């Protein structure tokens, strides 16, 4: 299961697609460690990802990028482990290049996919909101479409997480490795 270099598996997907839940279960099943970019960034900056996003902390984007590059590097601390990337990280040119290099070294890149309706449910977007916020579901749907299109050339396998238990998602991923 260990790759020549870099992580064994990288999970990508939009927020709410199940990266953390599936990552933990997959790590347990394969006997590997899960390394999440958001957790590493939170630890490095001593603030939760939620706090960093809400406060629009200017360090966040660079910290996420540097962390992803460090985790994806051939001799990085994530060698042979499972890595999750924040939703927008695969759109960064440097991170894309690092993902492609990791794939060429044997890393399997898995996209966790879900429908906009399912993401809205998981992220509690059905709650009443001010009209001033515009159309969050329409914006989310467009963002998801753009992200999925950008993920396509990077992934080895895309796994649907809608109506499938996390354990079954993990089983599907493990069978594809």
Q: Is 2 contained in some domain?
A: no
pTM for the predicted model, two decimal places: 0.86
Regions of the chain with pLDDT less than 70? 1-7, 77, 122-137
Q: Which domain holds residue 101?
A: 9-175
Compute CA distances 58 → 39, 43, 72, whole Å: 17, 16, 23
Q: Is 150 contained in some domain?
A: yes
Overall residue count recorded for the chain in this entry: 177
Structural domains in the chain (count): 1
What distance in Å separates the CA atoms of residue 171 and residue 39, rounded to the nearest whole number? Answer: 25
What distance in Å separates the CA atoms of residue 167 and residue 46, rounded to the nearest whole number? Answer: 32
Q: Is 4 contained in some domain?
A: no
Structure tokens at 27: 């790590």
Q: Is 134 contained in some domain?
A: yes
Element (H, E) at 113: strand 108-113
82-131 confidence digits (pLDDT tens): 999 999 999 999 999 999 999 998 899 999 998 777 777 766 665 555 55
Q: Is 1 contained in some domain?
A: no
Q: Is 3 contained in some domain?
A: no
Q: Give the CATH number, domain containing residue 51.
A: 3.40.50.300
């Amino acid at each position: 299961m260990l790759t020549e270099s870099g992580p064994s598996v990288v999970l990508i997907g939009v927020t709410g697609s199940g990266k953390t839940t599936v990552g933990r279960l997959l790590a347990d099943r394969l006997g590997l460690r899960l390394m999440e970019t958001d957790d590493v960034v939170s630890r490095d900056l001593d603030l939760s990802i939620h706090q960093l996003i809400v406060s629009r902390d200017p360090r966040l984007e660079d910290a996420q990028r540097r962390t992803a590059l460090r985790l994806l590097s051939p001799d990085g601390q994530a060698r042979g482990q499972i890595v999750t990337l924040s939703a927008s990280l695969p759109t960064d040119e440097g991170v894309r290049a690092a993902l492609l290099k990791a794939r060429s070294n044997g890393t399997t890149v898995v996209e966790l996919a879900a429908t906009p309706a399912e993401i809205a449910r998981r992220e509690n977007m059905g709650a009443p909101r001010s009209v001033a916020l515009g159309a969050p579901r329409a914006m989310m749907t467009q963002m998801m479409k753009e992200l999925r299109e950008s993920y396509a050339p990077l992934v080895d396998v895309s796994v649907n997480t809608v109506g499938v238990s996390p354990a079954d998602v993990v089983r599907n991923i493990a069978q594809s490795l």
